[in-house]
Amino acid sequence: MENSLRLFRKTIGIFGRCNAGKSTLLNNIIGEEKAITSSIPGTTTDPNRRAFELLPYGPVEFIDTPGLDDTSVLGEIRKTKTREVLATCSVVILVGNTGFKPEDWELQFIEQNQTTKKIIGIINMVESKTENLESWKKFFEKFNIPYLLHDCKNGANSAVRNFLVQNLQEKVQKTVVADLVPKGKSVVLVIPIDAGAPKGRIIQPQMLVLRELLDNYIVTHVVQPENLRELLLKLNEEPGLVITDSQVFAKVRDILPENISLTSFSILMIRYRGELSIFLEGIQAIKRLREGAKIGIFEACVHHVQKDDIGSEKIPAILKQLTGRNFSYTLYKGREFKINEKLDLAVHCGGCMLTNEEIHQRVVFFKEQGIKVVNYGMLFAYDAGILERALKPLGGEEIADRFDG
């Protein structure tokens, strides 16, 4: 279940030199001895993930990492893993220690990451070793980094938790859907439960949308596609918005009157992440693909392939139908992100198993490499001939008008 909630969680990496107190800090924050601690350098050999509810902020995932200055035989491998973790973090905690002064390790870390990451400082107050305290204060103040003086071993965890909450709170809270619903109107969620659905739960974007609607006291109806017509007949007034799983866009289109607003969970998530224009460019590039073009299909989760699998069957069939051309496909699965070929188009899943930062890093990579990218939801809407309709609830006519079909 923790994996299924990853999108909700702010990913916070804990970085610093060997024996700075990173693992001790993690244990102190969560109030449990989960991370192994030792005075022996290099005790943390692999990134250690820990999901945690940081109230009143919300769900986060802490990642304890090996030391930046690990010079052991496996040190370079560990530092490579640390860099991979860093790419997935939206917030980083840099742990200093009064037992030593800040050096090039910390300086380089800040210079390389301050423009792309939110950095928070923790000065670990080691008992009887305070001679370097002023050096650490000046170091963090030089870069305008908020910091806390804290005994990572014996300090009250309420102090560090409150410090984190204060520095994580966003000035403007983004919404996924609540601002799109006309006042006093209800919402219908169309969620198919098919062979590909996870056992005993709904997928992450659906959970996120449903919870936000409940938080905003918006009356919400949840149905499978087969029950949509029945529900519409029973409602006393038309819903203000219908949100569907992208795979059943065509079914919902055939049932829903044109005057009722329609979009999908996947498209809402694109809007939430601020990447709508990039994916629109990907849609527009589809018709320009040449015969034999190389297409990468990216799925963050690893699952047993079944009949009518989206990545291996449905996506290639849709692209063939839209263009009349044959393409070369490579299916990339899992959270590891390594591409060894030049792609003409990337088709990405909704990213339920990835953090927002991981999705963003992938989109940035595609953009830098000149690879057009589109996600499953927009492709399904385009195939069903209703992409413009599905975009209109997000921003009126001005968004849909940017799509030239």
Q: What is the CATH number of the domain that holds 160?
A: 3.40.50.300
- Better pLDDT: 242 or 303: 242
Domain boundary among 216, 240, 269: 269
Distances (CA, A) of 328 to 164, 276, 341: 47, 26, 12
202 with 331, same domain: the answer is: no
Residue 323: which CATH number?
3.40.50.11410
222: helix, coil or strand?
strand
Task: Report, as an integer, the average pLDDT of 354-363.
Answer: 82
Domain boundary among 269, 304, 333: 269
35 with 141, same domain: the answer is: yes
186 with 148, same domain: the answer is: no
Residue 25: inside a domain: yes
**pLDDT at 4 (0 to 100):** 43
153 with 25, same domain: the answer is: yes
Structural domain total, the chain: 3
49 with 138, same domain: the answer is: yes
How many CB atoms are located within 10 Å of the residue 372 CB?
21
Residue 395: inside a domain: no
194 with 95, same domain: the answer is: no
- Better pLDDT: 154 or 194: 154
141 with 52, same domain: the answer is: yes
163 with 294, same domain: the answer is: no
Residue 394: inside a domain: no
Q: What is the pTM of this model?
A: 0.74
14 with 157, same domain: the answer is: yes
66 with 135, same domain: the answer is: yes
**pLDDT at 1 (0 to 100):** 41
Pick from 7-11, 142-146, 159-163: least confident: 7-11
**pLDDT at 305 (0 to 100):** 59
Q: Which two tokens stand for residue 266?
A: 């996947």
Contact 348, 362 (CB under 8 A): yes
Contact residues for 339 (Cβ-Cβ < 8 A; gap 6+): 296, 332, 365
Task: Report, as an integer, the average pLDDT of 247-258.
Answer: 94
Pick from 143-147, 192-196, 342-346, 378-382: least confident: 192-196
225 with 306, same domain: the answer is: no
Residue 404: inside a domain: no
Residue 174: inside a domain: no
Residue 94: inside a domain: yes
**pLDDT at 260 (0 to 100):** 96
Q: Is the pLDDT of residue 226 over 90?
A: yes
Task: Report, as an integer, the average pLDDT of 113-132.
Answer: 85
Look up the domain containing 102 and give its range.
3-168
Q: Which two tokens stand for residue 330?
A: 């490579």
Contact residues for 215 (Cβ-Cβ < 8 A; gap 6+): 178
Q: What is the mean pLDDT of the chain?
A: 85
Task: Report, as an integer, the average pLDDT of 44-67.
Answer: 85
Contact residues for 381 (Cβ-Cβ < 8 A; gap 6+): 246, 249, 264, 267, 387, 390
242 with 302, same domain: the answer is: no
Distances (CA, A) of 79 to 69, 118, 335: 8, 20, 19
